[in-house]
Structure 1
Amino acid sequence: MLPELPPALVLWLGAAALPLVPRRLRPAVFPLFPLAALALVWALPEGVLWSVDYLGFRLVPLEVDRMSRLFGTIFTLIGVLGGVYALHVRDTGQQAAALLYGGGALAVTFAGDYLSLFLGWEVMAVASAALVWAARTPEASAAGRRYILVHLFGGSLLLAGIALQVAATGSLALTPFSPGASAAAWLVLAGVALNAALPPLHAWLPDAYPRATVTGAVFLSAYTTKTSVYVLATLFAGWDVLIPLGVIMALYGVVYAVLANDIREILAYHIISQVGYMVAAVGIGTELALNGAAAHAFSHILYKALLFMGAGVVIRTTGRSRLTQLGGFAKRQRLAVALYMIGAFSISGFPLFNGFISKAVIVSAAGKSGHTAAMVLLILASVGTFLHTGLKLPYFTWFGRDRGIVPAPAPRNMLAAMAAVAALCILYGVAPGLLYGILPFPMAYRPYTVPHLAETAQILVFTFVAFWLLREKLAGEDKIALDTDWLYRKGAPVADRLVVGGVNRVFSACDALANRSARALADRVRDLTARGIRRAPVGASLALTLLVLILVAVLAMATV
Structure 2
Amino acid sequence: MTSSPALLLMLGAAGVPLLRGLPRRVLMLLLPVAGLVVLWLLPEGPGAGIALFGLELTPVRIDALSRLFATGFLVAALLTTIYALHLRDPLQQAVIPLYAGTAVGGALAGDLVTLFVFWELAGLSSAFLIWAGRTERSYRAGMRYLVAQLISGLLMLAGIALRIQAGEGLAFGYLGLNGPGDALILLAVGIKCAFPLLHAWLTDTYPEATVVGAVALSPFTTKLAVYVLARGFPGTDLLIWVGAAMTVFPIFYAVIENDLRRVLAYSMINQLGFMVAGVGVGGALGVNGASAHAVADMVFKSLLFMAMGAVLLRTGTTKGSELGGLYKSMPQTAALCMVGAASISAFPLFSAFATKSMIMEAVGQEHLTVVWLLLLFASAGVFHHAGIKIPYFAFFAHDRGHRVAEAPLNMRVAMTLAALICVGIGVAPNLLYELLPHPVDYVPYTAPHVINQLQLLLLASMAFTLLVRTGLYPPELRSVNLDADVVYRRVLPRGWHALSHAVTRLRRALGPPLRHRGRNLWSATTRPLRPEAELATPWSTHVMVWWAVFLLGTVLLLALL
Cα contact 1:396–1:475 (8 A) shared by 2 = no
Aligned pairs, number = 505
Asked if residue 358 in structure 1 is aligned to residue 355 in structure 2, the reply is yes
In the other structure, the counterpart of 1:252 is 249
**Higher mean Cα deviation, 162-171 or 449-458?**
162-171
- How many Å separate the matches in 2 of 1:331 and 1:177? 53
Asked if residue 152 in structure 1 is aligned to residue 157 in structure 2, the reply is no
- How many Å separate the matches in 2 of 1:435 and 1:64? 18
Paired residue for 1:202, among 186, 199, 204?
A: 199
- How many Å separate the matches in 2 of 1:331 and 1:210? 25
Q: Which secondary structure state, in structure 1, belongs to the residue aligned with residue 189 of structure 2?
A: helix
Asked if residue 425 in structure 1 is aligned to residue 422 in structure 2, the reply is yes
What amino acid maps onto 1:185 in structure 2?
D
- How many Å separate the matches in 1 of 2:109 and 2:265? 28
Asked if residue 288 in structure 1 is aligned to residue 285 in structure 2, the reply is yes
Q: Which secondary structure state, in structure 2, belongs to the residue aligned with residue 241 of structure 1?
A: helix
Measured after TM superposition, the shift of residue 20 of structure 1 is: 2.3
Q: Which secondary structure state, in structure 2, belongs to the residue aligned with residue 30 of structure 1?
A: helix
In the other structure, the counterpart of 2:5 is 7
In the other structure, the counterpart of 1:88 is 86
Paired residue for 1:340, among 292, 314, 337?
A: 337
Cα contact 1:27–1:86 (8 A) shared by 2 = no
What amino acid maps onto 1:224 in structure 2?
T
- How many Å separate the matches in 1 of 2:164 and 2:266? 36
In the other structure, the counterpart of 1:113 is 111
TM-score, with structure 1 as normaliser? 0.87
Paired residue for 1:401, among 384, 390, 398?
A: 398
Paired residue for 2:73, among 57, 72, 75?
A: 75
In the other structure, the counterpart of 1:326 is 323
Q: Output the aligned Cα RMSD.
A: 2.0
In the other structure, the counterpart of 1:58 is 56
Paired residue for 2:28, among 15, 20, 30?
A: 30
- How many Å separate the matches in 2 of 1:203 and 1:39? 37
Measured after TM superposition, the shift of residue 494 of structure 1 is: 4.2
Cα contact 1:28–1:87 (8 A) shared by 2 = no
Measured after TM superposition, the shift of residue 206 of structure 1 is: 0.8
Measured after TM superposition, the shift of residue 27 of structure 1 is: 3.1
In the other structure, the counterpart of 2:523 is none
Cα contact 1:133–1:141 (8 A) shared by 2 = yes
Cα contact 2:344–2:352 (8 A) shared by 1 = yes
Percentage of identical aligned residues: 44
Cα contact 1:392–1:475 (8 A) shared by 2 = no
In the other structure, the counterpart of 2:483 is 483
What amino acid maps onto 2:477 in structure 1?
E
Cα contact 1:108–1:116 (8 A) shared by 2 = yes
Q: Which secondary structure state, in structure 1, belongs to the residue aligned with residue 58 of structure 2?
A: strand
Measured after TM superposition, the shift of residue 329 of structure 1 is: 2.4
In the other structure, the counterpart of 1:127 is 125
- How many Å separate the matches in 2 of 1:53 and 1:188? 23
Task: Please identify the structure whose Cα radius of gyration is greater.
Answer: 2
- How many Å separate the matches in 2 of 1:22 and 1:413? 17
Cα contact 2:332–2:406 (8 A) shared by 1 = no
Asked if residue 307 in structure 1 is aligned to residue 304 in structure 2, the reply is yes
Structure 1 gap ranges (5+): 514-560
**Higher mean Cα deviation, 91-100 or 56-65?**
91-100
Q: Alpha carbons of 1:501 and 1:44: their partners in 2 closer, same or farther (altered >3 Å)?
A: farther
- How many Å separate the matches in 1 of 2:143 and 2:22? 31
Measured after TM superposition, the shift of residue 500 of structure 1 is: 8.8
Cα contact 2:349–2:423 (8 A) shared by 1 = yes
Cα contact 2:333–2:406 (8 A) shared by 1 = no
Cα contact 1:210–1:268 (8 A) shared by 2 = yes
Measured after TM superposition, the shift of residue 15 of structure 1 is: 1.4
Measured after TM superposition, the shift of residue 29 of structure 1 is: 2.1
What amino acid maps onto 2:279 in structure 1?
V
- Which residues of 2 match residues 260-275 of structure 1 at below 5 A? 260-275=257-272
What amino acid maps onto 1:483 in structure 2?
D
- How many Å separate the matches in 2 of 1:490 and 1:316? 30
- How many Å separate the matches in 1 of 2:322 and 2:63? 48
Asked if residue 434 in structure 1 is aligned to residue 431 in structure 2, the reply is yes
Measured after TM superposition, the shift of residue 188 of structure 1 is: 0.3
Cα contact 2:260–2:390 (8 A) shared by 1 = yes
- How many Å separate the matches in 1 of 2:219 and 2:20? 28
| CA deviation profile, 1:505-527 (whole Å, cap 9, x unmatched) | 9xxx9xxx9xxxxxxxxxxxxxx
In the other structure, the counterpart of 1:469 is 466
Cα contact 1:10–1:33 (8 A) shared by 2 = yes
Q: Which secondary structure state, in structure 2, belongs to the residue aligned with residue 223 of structure 1?
A: helix
Q: Which secondary structure state, in structure 1, belongs to the residue aligned with residue 347 of structure 2?
A: coil
In the other structure, the counterpart of 1:416 is 413
Q: Which secondary structure state, in structure 2, belongs to the residue aligned with residue 53 of structure 1?
A: strand
Structure 2 gap ranges (5+): 506-510, 516-561
Paired residue for 1:375, among 372, 376, 397?
A: 372
Measured after TM superposition, the shift of residue 493 of structure 1 is: 2.0
Measured after TM superposition, the shift of residue 171 of structure 1 is: 2.0
- How many Å separate the matches in 1 of 2:347 and 2:134? 38
- How many Å separate the matches in 2 of 1:9 and 1:30? 15
| CA deviation profile, 1:96-144 (whole Å, cap 9, x unmatched) | 2212211110111000111110110111101111101101122111111
**Higher mean Cα deviation, 335-344 or 495-504?**
495-504
- How many Å separate the matches in 1 of 2:370 and 2:326? 42
Cα contact 1:318–1:408 (8 A) shared by 2 = no
| CA deviation profile, 1:32-69 (whole Å, cap 9, x unmatched) | 11111111111111101131112221001001110000
Cα contact 1:58–1:171 (8 A) shared by 2 = no
Q: Alpha carbons of 1:501 and 1:437: their partners in 2 closer, same or farther (altered >3 Å)?
A: farther
